[in-house]
Amino acid sequence: MSTEDREAQEDELLALASIFPEEEFRKSETVPGGEFRVCLDLPPNFTITVKAGSATNAFNESFEGIVSFLPPIILNFELPPGYPSTGPPIFTLSCKWLSANQLSQLCQHLDDLCEELKGCVVLFAWMQFLKEETLEYLNINSPYELQVDGIGTQIMKNLSGKSANCSTAGMAVLDQRAIQDIDTASALIRCILNFNEVQEKKCFDSKLYMCNICFSEKLGSECTYFKDCQHVYCNSCLKDYFIIQINDGQVHALNCPEPKCSSVATPAQVKDLVGEQLFSRYDRLLLQSSLDLMADVVYCPRPSCQTPVMQEPGGTMGICSSCKYAFCTICKMTYHGVSPCKVTAEKLILLHDEYLESDEEGKRFLEKRYGKSVIQKAVEEVESKEWLKRYSKSCPRCGTNIQKIDGCNKMICSGCNQYFCWLCMSTLSRTNPYDHFSNPSSECFNKLVLNIEMDEEEDDD
């Protein structure tokens, strides 16, 4: 190697290292050479479609969506002893989403640049071309379709139907330096999505954003954004907001704090903000609330178990997978076959309220689940209690419900024959029950027939 070539190579590599960041250019430590990783600047809203041919993909995996970044074109090169005076660099060009045909076209153009700059260094010109002109040179426009028809064979074309406007388009022999290092559509989809997500995260972390809660400007690395709405809040404010919601049991309210915004935080975002312990509570409450909304899921009634149990369609028996307890899914008691459920008074009241507050669909569901007879019993039971509460009083001795139709205020219980006052509900002496109304010290003095006329008027109304 001549002194001029060695100095030219050293100067060129040194200049490239100072121009490009390490993530784009890495100098080889063993030989004169290195690696370029070229990420193309895609136009806004660049749409890409990946389809898999049935011959290589039984599941016909596909993807269609907007991406901001695609995996890089990788140029590996080595500078031979005669470069730049007598020979070009030795190189390979690889990419996951460009076809071998397209990579061959790029290789040919790199060779053409060497001919134009014969005797001069070419690496910077190569880098500029790959980064700034690849899309135009290969006629890549949005929307863009990529289809994998076989292992190691990728065919890319514009959805508009245009072919590559290059002199080597349709070449029969592919350039051996062109390497497509992907073999299946599923692998390509994963690669594209993962790379796009990582690059978008890097861009987000490096920018400043205004938190709409504390109105402070912070780096994206200190913030969280909601993908659906793109609203951004600092981690400190969002953490406090989520902690309050989880502690209050409002796990379905972990959405964007922006008023009237329905974007929901992902489980990963919640976990990163609130920590492992509180996230476990969130996860448990979220599962619980989701199961509660499922009509065919009931819980084992044993207090020490409470395992979710799937209810068989049309059936009323549930068998707990944990404790093996067989129970009726309606009354939650031990399974009793076709015998009617023994629904408690408290349950009947709750069922009555739920039935009256439901719409027509909800009422049909309750009738199907509990039976019309049970629903009717619940309605009648509550109505009876309401009537008794309004028109009757309970015996102060035995509690029997008694209705006063007419007569004086001295009452006799039909259940235990106890004498009592209708006005103050105190028990009366069996030997002289009227003494209560004639004794001046009694609060019901001279009230034996008080309010009789008023009660009659109310009954007439």
Residue 412 exposed, middle or buried by CB count within 10 Å (0-12, 13-18, 19+) = middle
SS3 breakdown of the chain: % helix, strand, coil, rounded to 5? 35, 20, 45
Torsion (CA) 377, 379, 384, 389 in degrees, nearest 10: 140
Burial 382-406 (b: 16+ CB within 10 A, else e): beeeeeeeeeebebbeeeebbeeee
Q: Quick count: other Cβ atoms within 10 Å of Cβ 88?
A: 20
- Quick one: pLDDT at residue 167? 38
218 near 209, Cβ under 8 Å?
Answer: yes
Closest by CA to 24, choosing from 115, 147, 126, 102, is 126
SS3 225: strand
12 near 20, Cβ under 8 Å?
Answer: no
* Rounded-to-integer distance, Cα 261 and Cα 68, Å: 25
* Rounded-to-integer distance, Cα 234 and Cα 220, Å: 8
Token match 């029969």: residue?
Answer: 172
Residue extents of the structural domains in the chain: 3-198, 209-292, 297-325, 345-391, 402-461
454 near 460, Cβ under 8 Å?
Answer: no
- Quick one: pLDDT at residue 145? 84
* Rounded-to-integer distance, Cα 247 and Cα 75, Å: 53
DSSP 8-state secondary structure symbol assigned to residue 164: P
Assign residue 425 a region: left if phi > 0, alpha if psi is -120 to 50, beta otherwise?
left
SS3 274: helix
Characterize the bridge pairing of strands 401-402 and 393-394. Answer: antiparallel
* Rounded-to-integer distance, Cα 297 and Cα 319, Å: 12
* Rounded-to-integer distance, Cα 50 and Cα 42, Å: 17
- Active-site pick, 328, 395, 408, 416: 408
Per-residue pLDDT of the chain in tens (461 residues, 90 and over written 9)? 688 889 999 999 999 999 999 999 999 988 899 999 999 999 999 999 887 654 444 445 678 889 999 999 999 999 999 899 988 999 999 999 988 889 999 999 999 999 999 889 999 999 999 999 999 999 999 888 876 544 344 444 333 333 333 334 444 478 899 988 887 888 888 899 999 999 999 999 999 999 988 999 999 999 998 888 889 999 999 999 888 888 887 777 678 888 888 888 888 888 888 888 888 887 777 777 766 666 677 888 888 888 888 877 767 788 898 898 988 887 778 888 877 676 666 676 777 777 888 888 777 777 766 667 777 777 777 788 888 888 888 898 898 888 888 888 888 898 888 999 988 998 888 888 888 888 888 888 888 887 654 444 444 54
Q: Radius of gyration over alpha carbons of the chain, in Å?
A: 41
408 catalytic per annotation? yes
- Helix and strand numbers (H, E) in the chain are 12, 21
* Domain spanning 3-198: CATH 3.10.110.10: yes
* Rounded-to-integer distance, Cα 320 and Cα 312, Å: 12
* Rounded-to-integer distance, Cα 118 and Cα 36, Å: 21
DSSP 8-state secondary structure symbol assigned to residue 251: G
SS3 63: strand
List, as one string, the DSSP characters of 360-400: HHHHHHHHHHH-HHHHHHHHHHHHHHHHHHHH-EE-TTT--
Closest by CA to 424, choosing from 439, 91, 291, is 439
- Quick one: pLDDT at residue 253? 66
* Domain spanning 209-292: CATH 3.30.40.10: yes
Can you say how many angstroms the Cα of residue 328 is from the centroid of all Cα atoms in its chain?
34
- Quick one: pLDDT at residue 52? 60
| Structure tokens belonging to residue 287 | 């599962």
- Quick one: pLDDT at residue 448? 85
Closest by CA to 61, choosing from 191, 228, 196, 198, is 191
